[in-house]
Amino acid sequence: MSTPTPMSTRGEELGRMREDLRRALKKPAEQRHWAMVINTKRCTACYACVVACMAENGSPPGVAYRRVGEVESGEYPQVARTFMPVNCMQCDNPPCMKAAPAGAITKRPDGIVAVDYDKLKGKDVFERVSKACPYGAFSYDDGRFYTKETPALQAYEKAPTYEYGKPWVRTNGKPPVGTARKCHFCVQRLEAGMLPACVTTCDGGVSFFGDLNDAESLVSKLLRAHGSMTMQAALKTEPRVHYLVDDAQAADSLKACLACHR
Ligand code: SF4
Ligand code: SF4
């Protein structure tokens, strides 16, 4: 399954997903079903998606919305190593929401699980929601900077970021400092008609994004054409991140990955 679609280049896949996005944004939010599809067979563990995510969302030390795990499976000489990009699954039945203070985590009509930084504050609250999430999606923003006293804080850490469509400046010590943070499918980019940063940055074309309520979208076609799995399906959290799997060996490797959650 080196090529999940008949398309020849990543450029064509990205063009197709941007068209899908434009079509979806014309519909009312409650008619969109945002989802991510990941083809681990294309991943080389280069971490470009992790860096792009951190740049887009102004992630400080200790905060990462996207991780790439490495899992070995099988027995010598039949061993395999699978690279496993993971971010918040935007669950349709999110246990984090039940563990959070009222209104601090909500499920938007388009399916994104959103955090209200003004309500999801404090280390104790972070620990509660983090424990509730089976996928290790949360990080705690403890107010550090990469460039503090190096000798000077650099412009990129002073600049505002625009998560959830609002400007956030961490230098004032206000939220998102002191909050639990996680992936939101780059909601600020989606609403400006752009795909998530991890999707557009990856040269390998690992991640796909779109509207599963649109039968013609690339993500819908991929899930119809290939087998797929979700992480920890038995927990019934109903993740919106789907991992493609077509053959028995890939299924075994992925099962080893998908069984692990941190
Ligand atoms: S950018 Fe693509 S290939 Fe690199 S680690 Fe992320 S998903 Fe894997
Ligand atoms: S992956 Fe974790 S943080 Fe994301 S919606 Fe599911 S339970 Fe909540």
Q: What is the pTM of this model?
A: 0.93
**Domain extent at residue 246:** 10-258
**Strand (E) or helix (H) holding 129:** helix 123-132
Q: Has residue 4 been placed in a domain?
A: no
The per-residue pLDDT for range 90-132, each reduced to its tens digit, is 999 999 999 999 999 999 999 999 999 999 999 999 999 999 9
Q: 34-38 and 241-244 as β-strands: parallel, antiparallel, unpaired?
A: parallel
CB distance 134 to 141 below 8 Å:
no
Nearest CA to ligand 1 atom 3: 43
Q: How far, in Å, CA of 219 to CA of 192, rounded?
A: 20
Q: Has residue 129 been placed in a domain?
A: yes
What is the number of the ligand closest to the CA of 97? 2
Query: 203: CA distance to ligand 1 center in Å?
Result: 7
Q: 207-211 and 34-38 as β-strands: parallel, antiparallel, unpaired?
A: antiparallel
Q: Has residue 182 been placed in a domain?
A: yes
CATH assignment of the domain containing 163: 3.30.70.20
Query: 169: CA distance to ligand 2 center in Å?
Result: 25
Can you give the pLDDT at residue 73? 86
Closest-CA residue to 17 (of 170, 186, 130) = 186
Q: How far, in Å, CA of 62 to CA of 79, rounded?
A: 32
CB distance 79 to 3 below 8 Å:
no
The per-residue pLDDT for range 77-86, each reduced to its tens digit, is 999 899 999 9
- Counts of helices then strands in the chain (DSSP H, E): 9, 10
What is the number of the ligand closest to the CA of 50? 1
Which residues in the chain come in under a pLDDT of 70?
A: 1-8, 247-254, 256-262
Instruction: Give the number of domains in the chain.
Output: 1
Can you give the pLDDT at residue 262? 47
What is the number of the ligand closest to the CA of 107? 2
Distance from the Cα of residue 170 to its chain's centroid = 22
Residues with C-beta less than 6 Å from any ligand 1 atom: 43-49, 68, 83, 85, 201-202, 204, 206-207
Query: 113: CA distance to ligand 2 center in Å?
Result: 7
